[in-house]
């Protein structure tokens, strides 16, 4: 159950042509050896920590007893929540898959003006948290609510999860095969489906998984649109504090749905041996065709980024907003947001490092089990992690209840997969032979690690930390449940004002959130505009 999204787009090393033997020798030489015990122990401890929220939720939910669980799950409201969650996830995933694949094909196989600019624009919605997009739209159309706006906004915000990896896969896919199919008598569309689609399918399905998980676990947007899904129900049950058992049971239900989605993706993705890739020249199309494709390509950036920012801007520049601005409070929110984000990034990197180091160099059952647990945060909705850690801290560590430590830990569990993914590939990209060369040149293992592995892998550690920090600043539901009294982040301030329709008072927080979280995310995705990492 490895949820690493990048594995979908990366060529399968086992399936490519056999490498020249001696190099295979040198690589196998290290993977054949067992990992050092201390590394196994450290990685196991990190995985154990990452599993706390899920394990404790199961424990807590199980305490309710079977009858209670059945009784809760068969209530009308609960069935409605579950149906809404599933419906929203299905509609959003289908939309993102179809439109995202179309956009990716347009940008990588057709000759369009400014293709890189468009690709960058397609990545931008990733930087905007769903509740911020919801806020921007509500400013312009305060009466929006229900399924349709939730579906459209979520689709726009999550489409890059499909567009980016599919575009990358299309660039890597051999166009020669399509040409061969044409010479064997297939039409253009048939040739695409027979030759190119199989090479792109794993990337598209892996992207679809991320979209589905995002839609299932989204809280901020559906709550703003007052569309009652499971996350909404969990929050409601928890807020009515006499019924925490019901919150736990709903959270369990949500986790089961998320895990089912993950398992479904695993079976549907499949693996395709990749043909040797050669760049394909984009096809030229007519101006009319180009114009008719424009709305498709522009849809996500316009709906997910441009209009929300426009709504934010119109409210920001109003005199009333500026007059009411509470600068000390805003600065306090900035300080605590950045503070917890940096702490979460540090903790996530520390927890992820042993797991990434283990997974980068070694194989085996224990290794893949540890790695899967490390990726658990991908499948766990923020509200579930928040709720479970509330229960956990109350029952096990009451001194830490509502402390910054638990909040930072929740972030670290949720966003550790980002750090594991980037650090693992960064460490794996350091050729084993280089370390061996350093050894034959007189370096001890530790010195070789310090002089070769560290400098080569450092950028990936930095990017991993940055990804965690950015994601933390945008996090809402776990923050709402776990933040210590008196501490507000930009996201919670924005949220608290939006739900009571104080759009003007919310505007400065939204603007600063865009500046310190969304803009770095955009820059980062610009730097790695071909990358398929989620931001």
Partner 1 sequence: MSDLVVSGASVTHGSTLAVDDVSMTIRSGELVAVLGPSGCGKTSLLLAIAGLLPLRDGSIAIGSRELSRPGRTVPPEKRGIGWVPQEASLFPHLTVGENIGFAVPGGRGGAGARGRARAERIAELASLVGLGALTNRAPNQLSGGQAQRVALARALAPRPDVLLLDEPFAALDTQLRTVLRREVAELLRAQGTTSILVTHDQEEALTLADRVAVLRDGHLEQFGTPEEIYQQPASDWVARFVGDVVELDGAWRGGRVTCALGNVEAAAVGFTPADGDTVRLMLRPEWIVPRPDLLAHAAAGADARVASISYAGHDAMLSCDLTAGLTVRMRMAAVDLPQVGEDLRLAVQRPGLAFPVPA
Interface ranges with partner 1 (CB under 8 A): 20-23, 25-26, 28-29, 32, 431, 433-434, 436-445, 448, 451-452, 455-456
Nearer to partner 1, 103 or 463 (CB): 463
Nearer to partner 1 among residue 131 and residue 362 (C-beta)? 362
Tokens 């032979």 sit at which residue? 433
Q: How many residues would you count in the chain?
A: 535
Are 211 and 162 in contact by the 8 Å Cβ rule? The answer is yes
Residue 143 CB contacts under 8 Å (≥ 6 apart), including other chains: none
Nearer CB in complex with partner 1: 91/435: 435
Q: How far is the CB of 273 from partner 1 (least distance, A)?
A: 21
* Residue nearer to partner 1 on the CB measure, 216 or 452: 452
C-beta of residue 347 within 8 angstroms of C-beta of residue 408: yes
Are 312 and 511 a contacting pair, CB within 8 Å? yes
CB of 446 to partner 1, least distance (A): 11
Beta bridge partners of 110: 283
d(CA 178, CA 168): 17
Smallest gap from Cβ 14 to partner 1, in A, equals: 15
Show Cβ contacts of residue 168 under 8 Å, excluding neighbours closer than 6 positions: 9, 203, 530, 531, 532
At closest approach, how far in Å is the CB of 450 from partner 1?
Answer: 13
Helix runs in 362-452, H state only: 365-374, 376-379, 382-395, 404-428, 432-440, 445-448
Residue with tokens 């370096």: 443
| Residue 484 DSSP class | P
> Which C-beta is closer to partner 1: that of 287 or that of 365?
365
| Alpha-carbon gap, residue 44 to 371, rounded angstroms | 9
Side-chain-side CA neighbours of residue 312 (13 Å):
24
Phi-psi region of 274 (alpha: psi -120 to 50; beta: other; left: phi over 0): beta
**Which tokens belong to 142?**
């305060």
DSSP result, 438-453: HHHTT--HHHHIIIII
Nearest approach, Cβ of residue 454 and partner 1 (Å): 10
Question: Minimal distance in Å, beta carbon 24 to partner 1?
Answer: 9
Q: How far is CA 39 from CA 3, 57, 358, 385, in A?
A: 22, 28, 7, 27
24 or 141, CB closer to partner 1?
24
Q: How far is the CB of 419 from partner 1 (least distance, A)?
A: 22
User: For residue 387, which of 255, 279, 478 has the smallest C-alpha distance?
Assistant: 478
Q: Are the CB atoms for 167 and 203 separated by under 8 Å?
A: no
Nearer to partner 1, 91 or 452 (CB): 452
Which residue's CB is nearer to partner 1, number 65 or number 445? 445
Give the shortest CB-19-to-partner 1 separation in angstroms: 10
Min separation Cβ 365 and partner 1, Å? 16
Nearer to partner 1, 379 or 438 (CB): 438
Pick 256 or 437: Cβ nearer partner 1: 437
Which lies closer to partner 1 via its Cβ, residue 276 or residue 296? 276
| Residue 447 CB, nearest approach to partner 1 (Å) | 8
CA distance 85 to 154: 12
CB of residue 1 vs partner 1: minimum separation in angstroms? 26
Two structure tokens written together for 282? 């984009």
């Amino acid at each position: 159950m490895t949820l690493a999204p990048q594995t979908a787009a990366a060529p399968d090393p086992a399936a490519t042509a056999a490498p020249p033997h001696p190099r295979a020798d040198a690589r196998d030489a290290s993977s054949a050896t067992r990992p050092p015990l201390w590394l196994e122990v450290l990685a196991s401890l990190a995985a154990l920590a990452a599993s706390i929220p899920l394990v404790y939720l199961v424990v807590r939910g199980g305490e309710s007893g079977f009858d209670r669980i059945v009784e809760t799950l068969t209530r009308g409201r609960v069935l409605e929540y579950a149906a809404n969650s599933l419906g929203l996830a299905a509609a959003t995933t289908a939309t993102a898959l179809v439109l995202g694949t179309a956009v990716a094909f347009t940008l990588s196989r057709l000759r369009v003006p400014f293709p890189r600019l468009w690709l960058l624009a397609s990545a931008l919605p990733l930087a905007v948290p769903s509740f911020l997009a919801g806020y921007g739209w509500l400013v312009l159309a305060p009466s929006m609510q229900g399924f349709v706006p939730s579906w459209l906004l979520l689709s726009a915000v999550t489409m890059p999860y499909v567009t980016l990896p599919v575009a990358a896969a299309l660039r890597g896919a051999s166009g020669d095969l399509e040409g061969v199919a044409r010479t064997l008598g297939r039409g253009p569309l048939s040739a695409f489906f027979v030759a190119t689609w199989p090479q792109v399918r794993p990337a598209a399905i892996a992207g679809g998984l991320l979209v589905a998980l995002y839609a299932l676990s989204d809280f901020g947007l559906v709550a703003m649109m007052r569309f009652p899904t499971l996350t909404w129900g969990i929050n409601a049950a928890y807020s009515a504090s006499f019924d925490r058992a019901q919150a736990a049971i709903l959270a369990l239900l949500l986790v089961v749905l998320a895990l089912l989605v993950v398992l479904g993706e695993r079976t549907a993705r499949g693996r395709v041996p990749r043909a040797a890739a050669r760049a394909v020249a984009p096809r030229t199309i007519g101006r009319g065709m180009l114009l008719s494709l424009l709305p498709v390509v522009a849809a996500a950036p316009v709906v997910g980024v441009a209009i929300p920012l426009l709504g934010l801007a119109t409210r920001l520049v109003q005199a009333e907003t500026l007059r009411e601005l509470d600068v000390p409070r805003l600065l306090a929110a900035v300080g605590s947001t950045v503070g917890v984000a940096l702490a979460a990034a540090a903790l996530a990197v520390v927890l992820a490092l042993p797991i990434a180091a283990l997974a980068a160099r070694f194989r085996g059952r224990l290794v893949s089990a540890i790695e899967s647990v490390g990726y658990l945060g991908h499948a766990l909705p923020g509200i579930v992690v928040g709720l479970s850690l509330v229960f956990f801290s109350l029952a096990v560590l009451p001194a830490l209840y509502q402390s910054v430590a638990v909040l930072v830990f929740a972030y670290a569990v949720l966003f550790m997969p980002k750090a594991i993914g980037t650090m693992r590939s960064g460490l794996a990209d350091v050729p084993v032979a280089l370390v061996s060369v350093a050894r034959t040149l007189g370096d001890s293992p530790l010195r070789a690690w310090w002089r070769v592995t560290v400098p080569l892998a450092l950028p990936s550690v930095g990017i991993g930390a940055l990804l965690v920090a950015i994601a933390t600043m945008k996090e809402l539901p776990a923050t709402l449940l776990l933040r210590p009294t008196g501490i507000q982040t930009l996201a919670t301030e924005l949220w608290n004002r939006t739900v009571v329709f104080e759009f003007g008072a919310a505007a400065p927080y939204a603007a600063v959130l865009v500046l310190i979280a969304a803009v770095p995310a955009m820059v980062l995705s610009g730097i790695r505009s071909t990358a398929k990492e989620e931001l």
